[in-house]
Amino acid sequence: MPSEKELVMYQKATVLDLIQILKKDPDRSYTLEELEALMMAYVKGLEQK
């Protein structure tokens, strides 16, 4: 089981990955539904590794 420090590190890495994805197209705006779909796709992609 990961330690609390490792869990925080994974959470920070996830947020940084999502920020990079969103910065790829800075002029685009997203709806709540689109952001949710993006995050779910990210999580599902991680689960396949």
What digits encode the pLDDT tens for the residues 9-47? 988 998 999 999 999 999 999 999 999 999 999 888 877
- The sign of the dihedral angle between the CA atoms of 10, 11, 17, 21 is positive
pLDDT of residue 49: 66
Q: What's residue 32's pLDDT?
A: 97
| Residue 33 pLDDT | 97
Residue-level pLDDT at 43: 86
What per-residue confidence (pLDDT) applies to 28? 95
User: Residue 38 in contact with residue 21, Cβ under 8 Å?
Assistant: yes
CB half-sphere exposure, 46, CA atoms < 13 A? 11
